Structure 1
C-alpha cells in the first residue's frame, strides 16, 4: 500500500514538473524573436473639488431605548440640516444602529450592567468643497461627535483615469521606439500587453474627534489627488 502511494506521488510530481517545463518551453518559443519589453508609467495630479465624509454619533444612556433615541435623533437632525444645505438625498447614506450593553467589572463580583452604547454612522458626499467646513460644524451642533474619515476626490476621476492610462501607454511606446532607434532597429508592432489597473490616491485630510477652525477649512480647498497607472508591453522588432 505504501509502495503504491509512493509511486503515485512520484508520478504526480514528475507530471507536474514535465507540465511546468513544457509551459516554460512554449513561453520561451513564443518570444524566440527579437523584441523589446518596456514598462510605461504615468502620474496625474488634480485639484480636489468634492469630498466623501464618514461621521458617526456615539452616545451612552442608562437603557437601550434611550441610547437608540439619542443616536436616531442626532442622525435625523443632521440629515435635515444637510437637505436644507442643498445636499441631494442620494448623497447621504446612514448605517444601521449598533447597540451594545456596557458593564462594570469588580473583582470577585458578578458583572453589573451600567448602561448602553449606541452608534450610528453616516456617509455624505459633498460636491462643493467650500461648504464642507460648514457641514462639519453643523454635524457637531446636532450631536455627531466623531469624524472617521474625510476623503477628497475629483468629480472628473473617470476622465483622469483614462488620461493616466493613455499616458502610460504612450510612455511604453516612446520607450520602445527610443530603444529600437538606439540599436538601429525598428518596431514591427505590439506582441503582448500586460495591464493591471492602479488605484487613485486621495488624501485623508482629517481623522480625529470633531474640532474645526478657519485654518482647517482652508486645507480642504487646497487638496490634491494623485492618479497613477502602469502598463507593460512586449514589442516585436522588424
Structure 2
C-alpha cells in the first residue's frame, strides 16, 4: 500500500510542470522558430466639413449679484432668440458656462510706491453666460455672427469645423492604416529573410476629435462690432492609428 501511494505521488508531481506550462490565453502563442513583430501605422482621410462649432455669450455687470444676474438673463434671452431667428435649431444650442463672480475695487498705491494693505472690497458682480452652437448651414455663418453681436453678444469664440457623421471617413482612415501596417510588416519580414504567417492581434487608438474653437471676435464695450469676415471652411482631417502584432515564419 505504501509503495502504491508513493507511486501515485510521483506521477502527480510529474504532471505538475506540464499543467503549469499550459497557455493561459493572456499572451499570444508564437510557434517555435517564429517571431513576433509589432507595427504601428496611421491612416487619414479628408472631408469638406458640414458643421461650424462656436460659442456665444454675454458678460454683464451689476452693483448686486441679483442685478447682474437679472441683466445677464435679459441679454442672454435676446441672444438665444436671435440664434433661433437666424435658423439655429433648439437642439444645436446648449448652455456651456454660467458663472457669477464678485468685482473688487482696485487697491490704492501709497505715496511711497507700496500698495495699500487693505482687505479687498467688493464693488459689484459680473455674470458670464455662454452657449455652444452648431451651425449647420456654413454659408450663413457670417450672417449669424452679425445677428448675435447686434442682439448683444459680447463674447464670440470660434469657429472650429467638423463633420456631423465622420464614420465613413474614419473607416477610410482605418483601411489605410491597416494597409500601411501590413506593407511595413512585409518589408520587415523580407529584410529578415522571413514571411508574414498571420496577424496575432490588432489594436486601434486615436479617433476623430473636432478641433477646439479659437477666438473669433470680442465686441467692444461701447457696443460697436466690426462686420463678420468671410469664413473659409477648407477641409477637416480624420485619423486612425493601429498597432498590429504579426507572426513571422522562416
Q: Tell me which interval the TM-score lies in, with the shorter structure as reference length.
A: 0.7 to 0.9
Query: Within 5 A, what are the aligned runs for 1:99-114?
Result: 99-104=100-105, 105-106=107-108, 107-109=116-118, 111-114=120-123
1:165 corresponds to: 174
TM-score, normalising length from structure 2?
Answer: 0.72
Describe the superposition over 1:5-35 as per-residue Cα deviations: whole angstroms up to 9, x where unpaired: xxxxxxxxxxxxxxxxxxxxx9698586234
Whole-angstrom CA distance in 2 between matches of 1:208 and 1:181: 56
Higher helix share: 1
Q: Is the 8 A contact 2:161 2:210 kept in 1?
A: no
1:50-129 paired onto structure 2 within 5 Å? 50-95=51-96, 97-104=98-105, 105-106=107-108, 107-109=116-118, 111-129=120-138
Contact 1:55 1:122 in 2 (8 A): yes
The within-5 A match list for 1:1-238 is 30=30, 33-95=34-96, 97-104=98-105, 105-106=107-108, 107-109=116-118, 111-181=120-190, 185-200=194-209, 202=211, 204-210=213-219, 212-213=226-227, 216-219=229-232, 221=233, 223-238=234-249
Instruction: Judge conservation of contact 1:202–1:226 (CA < 8 Å) in 2.
Output: no
Q: Which runs of 5+ in 2 are unaligned?
A: 1-25, 109-115, 220-224
- CA distance change for structure 1 residues 212 and 46 in 2, over 3 Å: closer, same or farther? farther
Q: Is the 8 A contact 1:201 1:226 kept in 2?
A: no
Larger radius of gyration: 2
Aligned residues: 210
* TM-score normalized with structure 1 length: 0.75
